[in-house]
Amino acid sequence: MPQIIVKNLVKTFRVAERESGVWGAVKGLASRRHRIVRALDSISFTLEPGELVGYIGPNGAGKSTTVKVLSGILVPDSGEVRILGYVPWKERIQYVANIGVVFGQRTQLWWDLPVIESFDLLKDIYTVPVEQYVKSRDELIDLLSLADFLDTPVRQLSLGQRMRCDLATSLMHSPSILFLDEPTIGLDAVSKIAVRDFIRRINRERATTVILTTHDMDDIEALCNRIMVIGNGKILSDGTLSELRSRISNERHLTVHLANDGIDIEDPDAEVIDREENRIRLRFDPDKIPAATLISRIASRYPVRDLFVENPPIEEIIAELYRTIK
């Protein structure tokens, strides 16, 4: 039974156009022109409970618009949305008690209050029963290692600490669905890993459905089985990571370390992508030439010290996909 149902969702915005210069400003006193932007162009998808989905797309593609509609704070022009049986924007107060939302750029904690007081306040806002709250809170403090700065005002926390607190806050009331909007943005490597581990764990242990929007492909690779790609308001791809990969291209990359530099590699079935001193990267299509064949051919012809095969970085796949949008 799908938990989240989205059907033919459409959302347009009117954007005012302003002219520059003083004369433009005076004209602006009389009338303003508007442009219609189709942020969501009839998108549809469903999610089962417990799924961990990546939602990616270029800037302006409609990611945050989608999250806003699904979280109930934006009313669409047309289409159907049913989440946990609710229509999000129609029954806002009852609905939002079941979801958690984290915006990467903005915190939901009170700026001047110690972290623990923010937690307490939210317990009252969500009317979480005391025992449930204490258990949930302590578990989250432990999982996210928050104990050291519980008494620190939020404004004094580092970005990584704040994000962990925001994650804890969003789960304090044990929601069934978690929306994460760019949760790892601006974080250092260690924090990113901590956040990813946490999300994976929560999804597994609490069966929380997670929708993750991000630009960081490492997040995607680490967490998501299912990826939805949105561009220009349309869903371009909806499936697993490998399906996405094969949709764009079947290519693989072969990186070769040569014994000396200054050597060029030429091969009929492989194309050089880049080179750096004695390291050369080639792309090839494994359907045309099996990796093993290519490797032995290269190794026999050139002084190879080391080589390995890998999938192209997901950024390139996505970049390719974005290019097809333009």
Partner 1 sequence: MRMIDYLNLYFRYIGISVRAQMQYKASFIMATFGNLLMSAVEFFAIWALFDRFGTIRGWTLPEVAMFYGIVNTAFSISEAGVRGFDMLPNLVKSGEFDRILLRPRSAAFQVASLELQLLRIGKFVQGIVVLAWALSAVDVAWTLPKALLLVGAIGGGVCIFSGFFILEATLSFWTTETLEIVNAITYGGVETAQYPLVIYRDWFRRFFTYVIPLALVNYFPALAILNRPDPLGTPEIIKWASPLLGLIFLMVTLQIWKIGVRHYTSTGS
Partner 2 sequence: MKAYFAIISARFRMLLQYRAAAIAGFGTQLFWGFVKVMIYEAFYRSTTTPQPMELSQVITYTWLAQAFFTLMPFRIDAEIRRMIREGNVAYELLKPVDLYNLWYSRAVANCTATPLLRSIPLFIVAMLWLGMQPPDSIASGFAWAASMVGAISLACAISTILMIAILWTISGEGFMRIVPAMVFVFSGNILPLPLFPDWAQTTLQLLPFAGLSDLPNRLYVGNIPPEHVIFVLAHQLIWTLILVAFGRWLLKRGTRIMVVQGG
Separation of alpha carbons 208 and 197, rounded Å: 14
- H or E segment at 323? helix 314-325
Q: Is 26 in the site for partner 2 (CB under 8 A)?
A: yes
- H or E segment at 178? strand 177-181
Answer positive or negative: Cα dihedral of 259, 264, 267, 270. Answer: positive
Q: Is 21 in the site for partner 2 (CB under 8 A)?
A: yes
Q: Minimum Å distance from CB 307 to partner 1?
A: 49
Amino acid identity for residue 274 in this structure = D
The residue (of 14 and 35) whose beta carbon lies closer to partner 1 is 14
Quote the Cα angle for 268-269-274, to 5°.
95
Quote the Cα angle for 228-230-231, to 5°.
155
Q: Minimum Å distance from CB 37 to partner 1?
A: 10
Instruction: Note whether 304 and 257 are within 8 A (CB).
Output: yes
SS3 call for 29: helix
Binding-site partner at residue 324 among partner 1, partner 2, none, CB < 5 to 8 Å by type: none
- For every residue of 273-287, DSSP letters joined together read EEEETTEEEEEE-TT
Other Cβ atoms within 10 Å of 125 Cβ, number: 11
Q: Hey, what are 106's tokens? A: 């903005």
Q: Is 73 in the site for partner 2 (CB under 8 A)?
A: no
Q: Hey, what are 84's tokens? A: 């946990």
The residue (of 14 and 326) whose beta carbon lies closer to partner 1 is 14
Binding-site partner at residue 92 among partner 1, partner 2, none, CB < 5 to 8 Å by type: partner 1
Cα dist. 86→66, 70, 82 in Å?
A: 16, 10, 5
Q: Is 93 in the site for partner 2 (CB under 8 A)?
A: no
Instruction: Note whether 176 and 84 are within 8 A (CB).
Output: yes
The residue (of 28 and 286) whose beta carbon lies closer to partner 2 is 28
Q: Minimum Å distance from CB 66 to partner 1?
A: 12
Instruction: Note whether 228 and 51 are within 8 A (CB).
Output: no
Residues in the chain: 326
Q: Is 28 in the site for partner 2 (CB under 8 A)?
A: yes
Q: Minimum Å distance from CB 25 to partner 2?
A: 4
Binding-site partner at residue 112 among partner 1, partner 2, none, CB < 5 to 8 Å by type: partner 1
Binding-site partner at residue 322 among partner 1, partner 2, none, CB < 5 to 8 Å by type: none
The residue (of 28 and 239) whose beta carbon lies closer to partner 2 is 28
Binding-site partner at residue 89 among partner 2, partner 1, none, CB < 5 to 8 Å by type: partner 1
- Residues that bind partner 1 in the complex, under the rule CB under 8 A: 13-14, 65, 68, 71-75, 89, 92-94, 96-97, 99, 101, 103, 106, 108, 110, 112-113, 121, 124-127
The residue (of 2 and 24) whose beta carbon lies closer to partner 2 is 24
Q: Minimum Å distance from CB 16 to partner 2?
A: 10
* Site size toward partner 2, by CB under 8 A: 8
The residue (of 17 and 264) whose beta carbon lies closer to partner 2 is 17
Amino acid identity for residue 20 in this structure = S
Mask of contacts with partner 2, 147-176, x by CB under 8 A?
--------x---------------------
Q: Is 105 in the site for partner 2 (CB under 8 A)?
A: no
Residues 6+ apart with CB under 8 A from 316: none
Residues that bind partner 2 (CB under 8 A): 18, 21-22, 25-26, 28-29, 155
